[in-house]
Every structure is written in C-alpha cells, then in structure tokens.
Chains A and B, each alone.
Chain A
C-alpha cells in the first residue's frame, strides 16, 4: 500500500530520487529547503554530492560535488557520516582517517579535527554524526564504543558509553540523531538495538533485540526522530525501516514502495532499448519497489517527510507524514 493509516498517523509514499549518479551512496543529511548532502563512498572516489530533491518526481538536480580520495585536507578515505550546522557548514566523519572534516555549504574545505586514539577528542573509526540546535556535535566513536559530544571546532565536552551490552553500554554505535529536547538516539549496531540518552549522556531507554519481528532488529544502522517523537529505525539486514512512538511502542514497518522509477532511472531505461526490454520480460517488478540493505533514515521536520537511503538501489525513497489527510469513502 502506498498510503498507510496506522495508530492515528498517515504515511503516504511520495517518490524516489536516485540513479547511477549517486552510486556508492551511504548516507545523507538535510540541507536548507529541498537540498540534501549525499555521502558517496566508493573504492576509488568518494565525495559529498549536494542535490536538490524537490517536492515531486522530476525536481531533482545535482548542485555540486566536493571532496576526493586522499588523506590531505578536504579529502576522504572512508567517509562515513555527514551533518550540517546552522550555517550550513558540512561535517564529514572519516572512519579510516579517524577524523572529522568541515566544509562550507559550497564545498570549500574549512578545517579538520580528531585523529586516531581513545582520548577525548580522538576517534577510532568514527561514523555517525548529528548536530543539535546549539551546533554541538555528537559523533559515534564506533570502535571506542562511545558517543562523543564536541563543539564545532572539535573540542570535546562529554562522552558516554563503553563496550558492552548493558543499559547505556554500546557495541559499535553507528547512526545517531538528536531530538528537539536534546536527547540522543543511537543505533547500537552490534547490539541490534536503539538506545536513548538525555543531553547529559544519561541512559533513558533501549529498544529492540536481535531478530526479524516487531521490536527486533538485525544490525541497525541509523535512527531518526520526528517532531512528534516518533522513532524511525533503519533495520539494515532486515531490509526495512520500523517506526515506533516516543514510548517505544511499535507503529509500522516500511519495506520500500518505489513502484515508479526515479527521473534518472527512467531516463536511463528509456535510452537503452535492451534494458527497457529486459525489464519488461521479468515475471514481476515488485523486487524493484523494496529496500535492499537500507543504510540511513532521516526525517525532514520542515516538510514532514521521511527519507530512506536505499544505497544498493542508488536511491532515496521518500514518505510524507500527513496531518491533513481525508480518507476516501471505502465503497468508492
């Protein structure tokens, strides 16, 4: 179903953005208006690609790209996470170089900080990154099994978590987000759960365990929270995104609904007759609709929409969360 009404919420599948232009996509962050910064990680050339995704199918355009492979300033080896501050400066973690690189919104390199280690302000394969309303950074310091809070120049303030599977302990944390109250939600990747911490890093609750049912995850990679407090978990190996309310009650599961091709995909298929024909001879196109190892999930509070990064299919699937939906009569 493209429109689902569940637990007094309405989620309406919108459209898909993607194509060969964004192969290697791993995650993204929201910019201003309809802009997103997409992190492309490829063995030979990684970069940040700024795209406007628009409101409707066909609006998407690539605006700019920056960063390249290397270990110097403004270069990446293994970029892993991306976030934007209130000035639209772009922060990129690099889990091979153990650092955070900062660019302005047009891609000019500004600075970098971090470095390998386990001391304050040092990292061991940092991955997820989120920025709160005060422009403070939260970084998943993945192989130090902690989250570090830093200012935007890399000065550390607090760190929370240590390796383990108890409450407040972490095992290879990955994606994370900060809600409007300053609480931090962490994809506790190898513990197969989400953990919520308050702004001081104190444990609030945990959600999930290993499995493929409700309240279960398999290697979750990312988490998002909307203004109502609903939680979206990118359940990587289960090929789905699960939604929970603010009290961690299950709401629904998204498995992917891209029944129509994106603009770029459509253009490619139409311009290649053999691809066009091969696509028409398959028994079902339904596999095209579904997520394949989705890796990131973001909620755009301004547009009230959920963006799911579906990297193996080189695309972003977009769902609107509606608050003014009128259900048509059932016997129409």
Chain B
C-alpha cells in the first residue's frame, strides 16, 4: 500500500465521506495539499441540483414532521455532492448548533439552517454566529421569541455562552443575564399555519420596541449592548477560540471526551488544540484558513483511524463507495432511516448539546445496525463501486493472503491488526477464496463479497 495514497484516503474520510479507489488515485496524482485546497473551495465544483431530487420527491420541499423523514434531501445531497467538505461542515455545525424538529416541528426551517451552514460554514465564525442568532429555527428552539425587554428568557443567551462559544466556567450567571438582555427583541415574524395549504417560511424580525436598551455589563465591558455587540465581545475571548478549536479537533482529528466534560478534562492533545485556537485568533476566526492548517498539519496526518465513524459517515461513505445511488430512488427514505437507527437522527439531535460522539456511537444495537447495513451493501455486487472493487481484487491476487491484503487495501487502505488479518486469511484459506482459483467469475465474486462482509464487520472498520 502506498503511504501517500493512505494519507489521501485519511483526508477524504475526515474531510469528506471517503472516496473510491479510482478517486483516491486521481487525487494522489494531483497531490495532498492540492486536494486540501480543492476541498476548501466548494465554489470550484458543480453544485448539486436539488431540483433533480425534488423532481422525484416533490413533497420534500417543505415536508411534514409526522413521518420523521424530512432529512432525505440532505442525505441525497451528501451522497451526490462534489464538495464533500462543504457537507461535512454542515454536519459539523449541525452537531454544535444542534437544533431539532422535535421542538421546532418544521423540517424546512432546520434545513434552511443547514443551507446557511452550507453558505457560511467555511467563512468567518462571526458571520456564522450572527446568522445562527437570527435563524428562526434557533430562535424558536431556544425560546428567544419569548425573550422580552420586560421578561428576559435566558435560554438562548445561556447556550450561546455554554455551547456555542466559550464553554462553562468562562463566564458568570450575571453574564448570562446581561447577554440575554442584549438579545431581547430578536424574534421572528408570525408564520402562516401549516394545516390548510402546506408550510410557510419564518423570517427574522428585530423588534425595537421589545429590546432592552439599558446598559449591560458583559464580560467586564459596559454599554447599551445589542446582540451583535455581545458576539463581538465573545469573539475577543481566548476561551471562545479554544472552545471552537477543541470542537474542530474532536470532529476532524481525534475523538475527545464529551463536551460536558471539557471544563474538567483537558484536551488529549493540548498543543494541537492550542495551535488551532491561535490560528482562529490570528485569522479573525477564518474557518477556511484554519481548516487548511488543520488538514496540512502533522497532528492531523498522524491521526489515522483515531475516530469512530459517526452514523452519517457510515451510511454516506458506504453509498458513495457502492455507487448507483446518484439518481433519486424510493430507497432514500430507508437510507436516511438507517442513519437514525444507528443513533444519529439528522435534524433531530437529542438535545441542544448535540450527539455524544466517539465510542458513545457504539452500543450493541447500533453496532449491529452498522454492520448489517454495510455488509448488505457490499453484498450488492451489481453496484458499480462494489463490482469495480471485486474486479480489482480478483486481478490483484492469486492467493488467499494476497486477496485479503488486496481487499484491505482497496477498502481503505485499512489498518488491521495482525490477529484480525489472520482470521480473515484463515477464512479465505478455509474456503479457497482467491482471485484466480479457477472458479467461475460469479462464484469468485460472491466469495469476495463475503470476505468484504467480514471486513466491514470488524472493530477496525468502525474507525475513520
């Protein structure tokens, strides 16, 4: 296996949803840093035509909430995007600014928020934070429409500090109160009811008459602050840079402890988190610039297979690898549901804290769902990606050992410990599985598919 190819594969797993061997080889020819640059510029790519999807699934424009299936248009985008980092950033921000249909009750409003992440997710964090503060789904999710000059609601103000910027222990209860006062009057226009002719948009509205214009003292500064002033003060705090940096590290580099433990558990790799925090401060929170530094860093390159794949990565990377998922089909509902069954119901996180990640993705039920889904897909040998993989494995191996190594290489390249590899080889030897054993092509393909099913069932395969 080429270490350069393995590094490109690592990049594509983290900054995207994996890549076929053919794509990896194309990108290898272009170069690692050039691939990073390509990923950082979604505007260089042909965008997904969402109307190609709505043409077949027209009810997904503003879908109902009862079915629990409003995430399918995003799932289809992730399968088909030519700009995978852009969608990965949507997932990253959705995990942080976790907003759910369980309360908002309008998939389209949360999808609009995802669209906003798609537009601003690699820009300046200030612009993103301001857009989140004005997003109707967020306003409703955290009750800021109930935050009045004469009756302050602290939900948004508290989460802005606790989960969206600084993290607990970096501010006081008085700061929460003053922050919330600054966001009074930030609300949304009344929405037409959904029941007699479908759903309608919400729009941000600033109500001057409902804003508290009194002086506020926030993080040591005093003035007649409005929401934008609060965001500017927040961004001056080193704690904010460290908090965002740790999120970036946790999502793209290596699994950290869960967010509630951050105040008491230092980062596993404090130097790298500090590096990212400094980069955020020095670039005025330019997310694209910081991602460039992250993906080109030694600590990122050294972090292969140190993250448990999240359910979205499991499903999307499998579908992109298997192929034949580009045209909209009725299967999209089942695919979206598989992500949910594995523990990540998109557009409906369990709380404002988002999903717990890393090893917490894995329990006995979720593990079975992961394994069964991927194993079923790699067994669909008519799918072009699986067919190509099997054909290359057949061509590159004449012994069971060589076949196992070829499959591990072509599926990743994957890093398996020797005992797992030995089990796979034993299976291949016992069943006489190899590429050139005189069996019919179909029989050989079936046996290789079975070997692929064993590979995707291993502990090692759960890591990205």
CA gap between A216 and B344 in the complex, in Å: 42
Interface residue? A88 (CB, 8 A): no
Q: A237-B51, A282-B191 are in contact. Are A268 and B58 (CB under 8 A)?
A: no
Interface residues of B in 50-89 (CB under 8 A from A): 51, 54-59, 61-62, 67, 69
Q: Is the CB of A275 within 8 A of B193?
A: yes
Q: In the complex the two chains form, what is the Cα distance from A77 to B328 in whole Å?
A: 13
Determine how close the nearest CB of chain A comes to the CB of B202; give it in whole angstroms. 11
Across the interface, A312 reaches (CB within 8 A) one of B61, B189, B191, B329, namely: B61
Q: Which residues of B contact A287 (CB under 8 A)?
A: 192, 200
A248 vs B239: C-alpha distance when bound (angstroms):
63
Among B61, B67, B195, B198, the residue within 8 A (CB) of A275 is B195
Given contact pairs A42-B59, A311-B58, A268 touches B190 in the complex (Cβ within 8 A): no
A43, CB-defined interface residue at 8 Å: yes
The residue in chain B whose Cβ has the minimal distance to the Cβ of A285 is B192
Q: Taking the nearest CB of chain A, how far is it from the CB of B38, in angstroms?
A: 26
Q: How far is the CA of A182 from the CA of B235 in the complex (A)?
A: 68
Q: Does B197 contact A (CB under 8 A)?
A: yes
Fill in one digit per residue for A10-42: 1 if any B CB lies within 8 Å of its CB, else 0: 000000001110011010000000000000011
Q: Mark A268-279, 1 if CB is under 8 A from B, else 0.
A: 110010110011
CA distance A281 to B198 in the complex (A): 17
**Contact residues in B for A283 (Cβ distance below 8 Å):** 189-190
A311 and B57 alpha carbons, distance in the complex (Å): 12
CB pair A268 B196 closer than 8 Å: yes
A80 to B, closest residue via Cβ:
B56
For the complex formed, measure the closest distance between the CB of B192 and the CB atoms of chain A, giving whole angstroms: 5
Q: For residue A279, which residue of chain B has the nearest CB? A: B193
Across the interface, A293 reaches (CB within 8 A) one of B54, B69, B200, B333, namely B54
Whether a CB of chain A sits under 8 angstroms from the CB of B330 is yes
A43 to B60, CA, bound (A): 10
Specify the main secondary structure of chain A where it touches its partner. Answer: loop
Q: Which residues of B contact A288 (CB under 8 A)?
A: 192, 197
Do the beta carbons of B190 and A26 come within 8 Å of each other?
no
Q: Nearest Cβ distance between residue B6 and chain A, in whole angstroms?
A: 38
- The verdict on A265 contacting B196 (CB below 8 Å), with A43-B67, A282-B190 known, is yes
Contact B195 A272 (CB under 8 A): yes
| Neighbouring B residues of A281 by C-beta, 8 Å | 190
Q: Please judge, given known A-B contacts A26-B58, A96-B330, A293-B61, whether A261 and B51 are in contact too, CB under 8 Å.
A: no
Q: How far is the CA of A175 from the CA of B282 in the complex (A)?
A: 55
The smallest C-beta distance from A318 to any residue of chain B, in angstroms, reads 16
Inside 8 A of A269's CB, which chain B residues have their CB? Answer: 196
> Are the CB atoms of A20 and B192 closer together than 8 Å?
no
- The answer to whether A292 has its CB under 8 Å from any CB of chain B is yes
The count of chain A contact residues (Cβ–Cβ below 8 Å) is: 42
B residues in contact with A19, CB < 8 Å: 196-197
- B interface residues, how many (CB within 8 angstroms): 24
List chain B residues, Cβ under 8 A from A96: 329-330
Q: Are B197 and A313 in contact (CB under 8 A)?
A: yes
Our pick among A41, A268, A315 for the contact of B195 (Cβ within 8 Å) is: A268
Contact check: which of A24, A78, A278, A315 meets B56 at CB < 8 Å?
Answer: A78
Contact B330–A77 (Cβ < 8 Å): yes
Inside 8 A of B197's CB, which chain A residues have their CB?
18-19, 261, 265, 288, 313-315
Contact A24 B59, beta carbon cutoff 8 Å: yes
Question: In the complex, what residues of A have CB within 8 A of residue B62's CB?
Answer: 312
B195 — which chain A residues lie within 8 A by C-beta? 20, 268, 272, 275
A244 at interface, CB cutoff 8 A: no
* Complex Cα spacing A167 to B330, Å: 33
Return chain A residues, CB-CB under 8 Å to B198. Answer: 292, 312-314
CA–CA, A272 and B196, complex, Å: 10
A236 near B51 with CB under 8 A, answer yes
Give Cα A261 to B195, complex, Å.
13
CA distance A189 to B52 in the complex (A): 10
Which residue in A20, A95, A174 is a CB contact (below 8 Å) of B196? Answer: A20
Asked whether any CB of chain B lies closer than 8 Å to the CB of A321, the reply is: no
In whole angstroms, what is the CA distance A96 to B57 when docked? 12
Q: Which residue of B lies closest to A266 (CB)?
A: B196
Do residues A43 and B333 form an inter-chain contact, with CB atoms below 8 A?
A: yes
Q: How far is the CA of A248 from the CA of B331 in the complex (A)?
A: 41
A274-B200 contact in complex given A43-B67, A311-B58, C-beta closer than 8 Å: no
Interface string of B328-348 (1 = CB under 8 A from A): 011001000000000000000
**A316 CB to closest chain B CB, in angstroms?**
12
Closest to B61 in A: A312
* Across-interface contacts of A278 in B (CB, < 8 A): 190-193
Cα A281 to Cα B190 in complex, Å, equals 7
A321 → chain B, closest Cβ, in Å?
25
Q: How far is the CA of A272 from the CA of B194 in the complex (A)?
A: 12
Can you give 21 contacting A-B residue pairs, CB < 8 Å?
Answer: A19-B196, A20-B195, A26-B58, A42-B59, A43-B57, A43-B69, A78-B330, A174-B55, A265-B196, A265-B197, A269-B196, A274-B193, A275-B196, A279-B192, A282-B189, A282-B190, A283-B190, A285-B192, A287-B192, A312-B61, A315-B197
Show the binding face of A for B, using Cβ within 8 Å: 18-20, 23-24, 26, 41-43, 77-78, 95-96, 174, 189, 219, 221, 236-237, 261, 265, 268-269, 272, 274-275, 278-279, 281-283, 285, 287-288, 292-293, 295, 311-315
State the B residues within 8 Å of A (CB). Answer: 51, 54-59, 61-62, 67, 69, 189-193, 195-198, 200, 329-330, 333
Besides the known contacts A41-B58, A96-B329, A312-B61, 18 further A-B residue pairs in the complex with CB atoms under 8 A apart: A19-B196, A19-B197, A41-B59, A43-B67, A96-B330, A189-B55, A219-B51, A237-B51, A268-B195, A269-B196, A272-B195, A275-B193, A278-B192, A279-B192, A279-B193, A282-B191, A283-B189, A313-B198
Rank and list the top 9 A-B pairs by shortest CB-CB distance, nearest first.
Answer: A278-B193, A313-B197, A275-B193, A265-B196, A268-B196, A281-B190, A282-B190, A219-B51, A269-B196
